[in-house]
Chain A
Amino acid sequence: MSIIQLDHVSVTFKRKKAADVQAVQDVTLHIEKGDIYGIVGFSGAGKSTLVRTINLLQKPTAGNVVVGGVDFVEDGKQVISGKDLQARRRKIGMIFQQFNLLNETTVIENIAFALKHSDLSDDELEEKCHELLKLVDLEDKANAYPAQLSGGQQQRVAIARALANDPEILLSDEATSALDPQTTIQILDLLKKLNRELGLTIVLITHEMDAVKKIANKVAVMENGRVVENGNLRDVFLQPKAELTQKFVGGSLAVVDTLKSLNISLAENEALYQLVYSLNNVAKSIIIELYREVGVEASMLYGNVEVLADEPVGTLLITVKGDANKQKATLKFLNDEGVTVTELDERGNRL
């Protein structure tokens, strides 16, 4: 069973003197233990609202929410008591864009605050807090006040605080959006480390595709309260289906845009292929191999390498001249090499 199960979840905000806002509409999303699940979309897409239904900071108006096997919401009705919810929330950490630390308490008190309910002795509490500070590499700042720290350091305190109760899940709502690129990388690396070492399941909301590319293994793309595309990072990234996803993935992977600008026309016996492959598996030069092994001449229109979750992934656009048999042999050869091939027309549409 998935650790987070959202089934047909909707959130509608009722407003006075204005139309209701359907912030989330019929979203079904299952997140497995150990996933780093990226959720991307433009501002107002409903990402925050959706993720807040996981710890019921936002009550859904319809649908089911099951987290860690515990029913939170059934048919839009909360089925967990307030007390139980409090206890469950301790197993679902959350970090925010604005850190949301308590400014009138020191760093270590901020962390201890998360453990207030626990029956740890003072010594145990202190030890636990120091362990957490060590985990985020901030032991020397234990007695500082949050305002004395940099944004990255504050976010690390927030992470330590969110992890105080040994949660299974960490929700991250734009946690790196207020940070500079360097610090963003540090925080993402930390999240990745926590995922690897503690098996922490992470839900990562962001509008920075780079963050998702760096650490996520799955991704969902949201628009107007709906999930328009989701799946494995590699699939969504390299073969985006929804128009929005293509826009989002944008930049170097905008195969369609590239083709439009190239404005090519294919000859009678010519085919256009998009090749996607892991550079870890396919080290040879594909074009040379095609010539040597299959005897076809391929010419390259476009090439790019993306690093997705630590794996270098290449994308090539090639045209291959040859009759039907040659084309068939080409496809067979590429498949055998572990390359994902999609045949496209001149405009970049899949065939």
Chain B
Amino acid sequence: MINGLVHWIAQNFPNIYNLGWSGDTGWGTSILQIIYMTFWPSIFGGVLGLFFGVILVLTEPGGILENKFWFNFCDKLISILRAIPFIILLACISPLTRLIVGTEIGDTAALVPLTLGIFPFYARQVQVALESLDPGKVEAAQSLGTSNWDIIFDVYLKETRSEIIRVSTVSIISLIGLTAMAGAVGAGGLGTTAIQYGYRDFANDVTFLATVLVVIMIFIVQVVGDFLAKKLNHQHR
């Protein structure tokens, strides 16, 4: 069955077939690369984004740890980072990348700009998600003598978890979009396949398949995200 499919592809779409499965240019390699470049920045960017999102909400005017200095600092930092186009960020931060991962080229090198590119976006989304919480709930918790720590975890994060999952989904999908540009620093992935081996080599079938695979990946993230968001939501009957 698989053999039949491979044979059929070899016959009808030689460009796709010629890239192979497991070699440097292989489809399997690209798929693993894009997963690798999505997974780690999701984790690192997720932690950073959550951290800054929470700090923004706690320190904002009227927040439980209202602090003009830290609010302005984080707010400006996030705004500036968000304003830099990703493709420029990729190139500009190579010294920092070398410092952190020891190389400026390849999939691992791409993790640094991808993380830096996605976390400000995510932080803003987390901020909006947390701000959607009814301030009355925070006040009720305060009136019970709850510690700030518990308010952050049990009230802010737990109450808005389904909203946070929703914005995480959006952010991961954006991140997948960013990985397509990572080819600029010599990283692989389906984006590189589509552009290097498809578009530049006039192999439209390769571009098409790579695109379809990216779309499927996004679709899976969306479905899983929606499922979790719904499952963890008890806000309504």
Chain B binding surface SS class: helix
Q: Which residues of B contact A100 (CB under 8 A)?
A: 134, 136-137, 139-140
Within residues 48 to 62 of chain A, which ones have a CB less than 8 A from any CB in chain B? 55, 57
Within residues 86 to 127 of chain A, which ones have a CB less than 8 A from any CB in chain B? 86-90, 92-94, 96, 98, 100-105, 113-114, 116-117
* Contact indicator A57/B159 (Cβ below 8 Å): no
In the complex, which of the residues A86, A147, A158, A162 contacts B237, with contact meaning CB atoms closer than 8 Å?
A147
* Contact indicator A103/B145 (Cβ below 8 Å): no
17 A-B residue pairings within 8 Å (CB atoms): A55-B143, A86-B145, A86-B147, A89-B143, A90-B144, A90-B145, A94-B143, A100-B136, A100-B137, A101-B137, A102-B137, A103-B235, A104-B162, A104-B232, A104-B233, A147-B236, A147-B237
In the complex, which of the residues B143, B146, B154, B235 contacts A57, with contact meaning CB atoms closer than 8 Å?
B143
CA–CA, A117 to B141, complex, Å?
12
B237, closest chain A residue (CB): A147
With an 8 A cutoff between CB atoms, is B114 at the interface? no
With an 8 A cutoff between CB atoms, is A165 at the interface? yes
Whole-angstrom distance from the CB of B165 to the nearest CB of chain A?
A: 12
In the complex, which of the residues A89, A103, A147, A162 contacts B142, with contact meaning CB atoms closer than 8 Å?
A89
Mask for B201-237, Cβ within 8 A of A = 1, else 0?
A: 0000000000000000000000000000000111111
Q: Which residues of B contact A85 (CB under 8 A)?
A: 145
In the complex, which of the residues B142, B158, B162 contacts A102, with contact meaning CB atoms closer than 8 Å?
B158
CA–CA, A164 to B142, complex, Å?
14
* Contact indicator B145/A162 (Cβ below 8 Å): no
With an 8 A cutoff between CB atoms, is A302 at the interface? no
In the complex, which of the residues B136, B144, B234, B236 contacts A113, with contact meaning CB atoms closer than 8 Å?
B144
Whole-angstrom distance from the CB of B88 to the nearest CB of chain A?
A: 36
With an 8 A cutoff between CB atoms, is B24 at the interface? no
Cβ-Cβ contact count across A and B, 8 Å cutoff: 79
In the complex, which of the residues B134, B158, B162, B236 contacts A105, with contact meaning CB atoms closer than 8 Å?
B158
* Contact indicator A93/B143 (Cβ below 8 Å): yes
Mask for B155-177, Cβ within 8 A of A = 1, else 0?
A: 10011011000000000000000
Q: Which residues of A contact B145 (CB under 8 A)?
A: 85-90, 117, 165
CA–CA, A147 to B159, complex, Å?
13
Q: Would you list the 7 A-B pairs with minimal beta carbon distance, nearest first?
A: A100-B140, A89-B145, A90-B145, A94-B143, A145-B234, A86-B145, A100-B136
Q: Which residues of B contact A57 (CB under 8 A)?
A: 139, 142-143
* Contact indicator A147/B134 (Cβ below 8 Å): no
Q: Which residues of A contact B141 (CB under 8 A)?
A: 113
Q: Which residues of A contact B137 (CB under 8 A)?
A: 100-102
Mask for A170-197, Cβ within 8 A of B = 1, else 0?
A: 0100000000000000000000000000
With an 8 A cutoff between CB atoms, is A161 at the interface? yes
With an 8 A cutoff between CB atoms, is A43 at the interface? no
Interface size, B (range): 20 to 34
Which residues of B approach A to under 8 Å, CB–CB?
A: 134, 136-137, 139-147, 150, 154-155, 158-159, 161-162, 232-237
A98, closest chain B residue (CB): B136
With an 8 A cutoff between CB atoms, is A148 at the interface? yes
* Contact indicator A104/B234 (Cβ below 8 Å): yes
Known contacts A113-B154, A147-B234, A147-B237; decide if A104 and B161 are in contact (CB<8 Å). Answer: yes
Known contacts A87-B145, A165-B145; decide if A96 and B234 are in contact (CB<8 Å). Answer: no
Whole-angstrom distance from the CB of B52 to the nearest CB of chain A?
A: 23
Q: Which residues of A contact B233 (CB under 8 A)?
A: 104
Q: Which residues of A contact B235 (CB under 8 A)?
A: 103-104, 147
Q: Which residues of A contact B162 (CB under 8 A)?
A: 104
Within residues 260 to 316 of chain A, which ones have a CB less than 8 A from any CB in chain B? none
Q: Which residues of A contact B136 (CB under 8 A)?
A: 96, 98, 100
Q: Which residues of B contact A94 (CB under 8 A)?
A: 140, 143
In the complex, which of the residues B140, B155, B232 contacts A96, with contact meaning CB atoms closer than 8 Å?
B140
Mask for A53-75, Cβ within 8 A of B = 1, else 0?
A: 00101000000000000000000
CA–CA, A97 to B140, complex, Å?
11
CA–CA, A104 to B144, complex, Å?
18
Q: Which residues of B contact A165 (CB under 8 A)?
A: 144-145
Whole-angstrom distance from the CB of B160 to the nearest CB of chain A?
A: 9
Q: Which residues of B contact A90 (CB under 8 A)?
A: 144-145
Whole-angstrom distance from the CB of A107 to the nearest CB of chain B?
A: 11
CA–CA, A94 to B232, complex, Å?
28
* Contact indicator B158/A116 (Cβ below 8 Å): no
CA–CA, A213 to B171, complex, Å?
55
Known contacts A57-B143, A113-B144, A147-B235; decide if A102 and B159 are in contact (CB<8 Å). Answer: yes
In the complex, which of the residues B147, B161, B232 contacts A117, with contact meaning CB atoms closer than 8 Å?
B147
CA–CA, A97 to B146, complex, Å?
20
CA–CA, A147 to B145, complex, Å?
24
CA–CA, A161 to B159, complex, Å?
17
CA–CA, A103 to B136, complex, Å?
12
